[in-house]
Structure 1
């Protein structure tokens, strides 16, 4: 077998699986957490938030998409290095497993042999190393991510990618919090290696289609996220966290605010808490202008969630429509977070 990489063509908008999000608590607030994220999951949302950790934390998440065809899994671990800095590592896997490979179903003599059917998987992996540090300015923290992307399509093709994120947070004395997250600041490059011998089995599977090799180089253009949040206490037992995000992409899209230079998509999130134990969440995001039969409609993605925390263990659930406000497409997301400081 031989593999060949060609840099003749470049495709933008890759690694979309890294934009889905992690942590049911954050997804229940429509991902509007850039300003206030402050736990092990901050490595994904804004690494500057890792500085709020007092002890080691572990997070796990699982979700299924597209009628359980695709599985989305996540694990993260973070630990303080000293009073000023924190290190974290996380892994995301988005995959469709057990796909039937029928390219060898019919042999050279035209005979059908079901024993020649095999299984393969298409899987995307994102490994992130995070480092965060408190700055000399009171309330100001910064963090950086180094990402390694691995994408595999059975024996047909695979790729490696690398990129960086940079984030910052500032908390005022009256509980206002501000955050900024720059994703893929250097652009994230994916270089594909395509096995021509394996690919040739499917290249002419449908006459007149799939004739050309796909692009062998992809880039992920930078994105900027701005956030602001405010925590309000009511009689010590009740809290209300309100948060707003402005998610900016440097391209013209269907976002509610779109220009040739950049597009902006707002997200709103709310969390009602009781004695820091029970949480109810709601949010709206992914506002899109869709054209249906020459009529433009505003679509958005609602989300709901709840959580329970006790003695360092937090279990969260989110129910979110992955497409728009219709009732046709939805996902159930579960996540677990463990704070080891409560067990020492």
Structure 2
């Protein structure tokens, strides 16, 4: 009986936590961190530079970072990326394809999935008579999907181009709930005759909207698993507020064989957060990225970003930041990149290993 009591208490605690998380996800409000999986980033090369690529991005991954960069494509490109988060509990995967339409326009498609699979559903573990039956345990997944269509076009002013993203968001929590969302991004890039690059990326400019559908019968099983918690169904809409990224970059070439790509970005959120520069309406955190290249084949990258004001146990505040490093290799039309994020434990975030592969269609010609 003591063992049964422990199992019962554990089950109640677990599903009370699940219930609270679900309520937070479904609440009807303008949220600072809604759809945050779409803000993690893509491409190990960009991660190695702490995501400071808004002004310099120029490949298939520009569909995510700044769709205006798609206009620098010379041929079709395909990209894949995989990363694990939270000690390999969550998987983060990405695939993209892009191609130029003509000298003045380009298009791209991308898919992002962030999910936790094979979660144990123990709501039916104990029957009405108090007996434990492990055959009643089932598995479910919680996953977020982002589908993006990108279009880019040159403007009449030399060196100026723009891009637009149309995003469809799909979020699923087992059989309990699911949602559809839609939003738009817009980006601009400009490069002057001296080689200085400037970029602006505005995310969720339409305040991305998610509409949730909740299965009342499945939701009732959670309520039944937590005695004394007769909760009403949570609200079913959420809105993601816009974000802005500003970037300035310059590529330096030494003796033809050596290059140094540099970029400084400012990430702006229109809410009060723990970012290093924060007010009641706006928060800003910088990011700096460097890429050293040799004969356009071997690349070593480094970056620092995510500067945050961290509250210490003694009540004092300190500045935390996230350093990243990465390496890359290019042979003809094959690109292989790796990044290690958050080295040195300078921030509260856990480090992750990120791998990505990119193929240029010119390889097959």
TM-score between the two structures when normalised by the length of structure 1: 0.95
The DSSP-based 3-state class of the residue aligned with 2:102 is coil
Structure 2 residue 134 is matched with structure 1 residue 114: yes
Aligned residue pairs total 338
The DSSP-based 3-state class of the residue aligned with 1:81 is strand
1:179 aligned residue (192, 199, 208): 199
Structure 1 pair 161/323, CA: closer, same or farther in 2 (3 Å)? farther
Question: CA separation in 2, counterparts of 1:47 and 1:210?
Answer: 47
2:22 maps to which residue?
none
Question: What's the offset of the Cα at 1:110?
Answer: 2.0
Structure 2 residue 326 is matched with structure 1 residue 305: yes
Structure 1 pair 324/223, CA: closer, same or farther in 2 (3 Å)? farther
2:168 aligned residue (145, 148, 153): 148
Question: CA separation in 2, counterparts of 1:98 and 1:244?
Answer: 40
Question: What's the offset of the Cα at 1:109?
Answer: 2.3
TM-score between the two structures when normalised by the length of structure 2: 0.90
The DSSP-based 3-state class of the residue aligned with 2:88 is coil
Question: CA separation in 2, counterparts of 1:275 and 1:35?
Answer: 23
2:252 aligned residue (232, 244, 260): 232
1:316 aligned residue (337, 342, 345): 337
2:151 aligned residue (131, 135, 158): 131
Within-5 A mapping of 1:45-194? 45-194=65-214
In terms of fraction of residues, the more helix-rich structure is: 2
Within-5 A mapping of 1:257-296? 257-292=277-312, 293-296=314-317
CA contact (8 A) 2:323 2:344 kept: no
Question: CA separation in 1, counterparts of 2:169 and 2:30?
Answer: 16
2:3 maps to which residue?
none
1:333 maps to which residue?
354
- Could you tell me which runs of 5 or more consecutive residues in structure 2 were left unpaired when the two chains were aligned: 1-25
Per-residue CA distance 1:99-121 (angstroms, 9 max, x = gap)? 00011111222221111110000
Question: CA separation in 2, counterparts of 1:323 and 1:252?
Answer: 27
1:254 maps to which residue?
274
2:29 aligned residue (5, 10, 14): 10
